[in-house]
Chain A
């Protein structure tokens, strides 16, 4: 018999509200399967189970808010018998595990312009409104219903209306802790990315529109590979000591529609090909903007990458997300005068920055990381290899 507990989905989380179960007693579950949805300050998160077994009992009911570590359900191994005597061991029944619930990945929320205006007038947050029509587009009637129900006393489920406020609080708590506890040091360097962009343009010219890569993809891969060379930037500061991570789970800072941000992980980014990274990024952004993230993505990024180049900024110096120990920032790519072999030409240049925890690494090591990133970006064809 083992227990399935409320996971910690970040340093700033102390409790979560169970929204729904995707399983029932008697169901066979597999390691990695999404079994529940939990509401946190970061929004609704799909929670995976990390053990094979059969669900014996659901301890917590939807609507209940419980602390991190509380038992949510009990399960038994495939060989164990059910607790009530005489019952057929359900594990022997050849029922496939219930399919992993797929997140609605429709991208942004669909709402008609007139419904959007009405929502503003009535003070309704469209993100909290469920469309009744089968096409999923939120209508004026949906907004009116939501406005009416908002007037009712709060239900047991979390008040989704103050979700943005909750997220703001979560960001405030994590960032305040970071600035209070982590002695950041900051480095930046300009990197000539012309070779990388030329490689990308040639690669994309061979590809159909749906298969094209964004510049973010080779950049992510180069960051992940450079982190291998300077492992003291990848891991966690816990209980007064650095715990390096062998795996590189790249947290991608992704802005949410209407404010706020999350930085879920792309797992083992250094081992993925460019196609795999593009697919992972596409999936992650779609779920950040339209659907749900999974608990493993929220809990285990080992380092963060933030990229604000699309918004036109020249450089970004990040604030480390504790207990991580580094954050890499990428600015916009643009043509700049650049000295090369004794003459000045125009090259495509990007400013890369590093903010790192001085308790763990020194500027010299940080500088080696940025140098490694530069070197990796000069050999773009190698970035597409997997190893």
Chain B
């Protein structure tokens, strides 16, 4: 998977998070640490992040895959797989 694609996905995740929590500074996020430990997101906020990612990327993330979004790094890998597997846009 190419670097630019990962950068695009990383930017999309930040866009989704800052839409919910605008006070977040992306430079403060450690990409290998659990996101919800670093950002005060409750389950309602988290659902809104998923909805926003769906709007930006067109990927409907099933509830059973929420565990894949634990850290920023893992979320980028997961979204890259989903984009590459041909079911993006649905």
Q: Give A residues with C-beta under 8 Å from B.
A: 107-111, 113, 116, 126, 137, 201, 204-205, 208-210, 212, 214-216, 255, 257, 281-282, 285, 310-311
Contact = CB atoms under 8 A, between A and B. Distances in A.
Given A137-B22, A215-B43, A107 B48 contact: yes
Contacts of B27: 113
A209 B61 contact: yes
Nearest to B44: A285
Contacts of B64: 201, 205
Contacts of B24: 113
B21 A204 contact: no
Given A113-B25, A209-B51, A214-B43, A107 B20 contact: yes
A279 B22 CA distance: 23
Contacts of B50: 209
Given A113-B23, A209-B61, 10 more contacts: A108-B22, A111-B22, A113-B24, A137-B22, A204-B63, A205-B62, A209-B54, A209-B60, A215-B43, A285-B44
B11 interface: no
Contacts of A212: 47, 63
Interface in B1-58: 19-25, 27, 42-44, 47-48, 50-51, 54
B interface: dominant SS: helix
Nearest to B37: A312
A108 B44 contact: no
Interface in B51-90: 51, 54, 60-64
Q: Which of A107, A110, A111 has the largest count of B CB atoms less than 10 A from its CB?
A: A107
A310 B44 CA distance: 9
Nearest to B26: A113
Contacts of A311: 42
Nearest to A208: B60
The 10 A-B pairs of least Cβ separation, nearest first, read A113-B25, A110-B22, A310-B42, A209-B54, A204-B63, A310-B43, A210-B51, A209-B60, A209-B51, A108-B22
A2 B42 CA distance: 45
15 contacts: A108-B22, A110-B22, A116-B23, A137-B22, A201-B64, A209-B50, A209-B54, A209-B60, A210-B51, A210-B54, A212-B63, A214-B43, A215-B43, A216-B43, A282-B44
A113 B26 CA distance: 9
Given A109-B22, A116-B23, A204-B63, A214 B44 contact: yes
A126 B23 CA distance: 10
B18 to A, nearest CB: 8
A126 B27 CA distance: 20
Contacts of A204: 63
B63 A205 contact: yes
B63 to A, nearest CB: 5
Contacts of B63: 201, 204-205, 212
Nearest to B28: A113
Contacts of A201: 63-64
Nearest to A203: B63
A111 B25 CA distance: 10
Nearest to B53: A209
A255 B40 CA distance: 11
A57 B23 CA distance: 43
Nearest to B22: A110
B51 to A, nearest CB: 5
Contact of B20 (A108, A111, A210, A281): A108
A230 B81 CA distance: 51
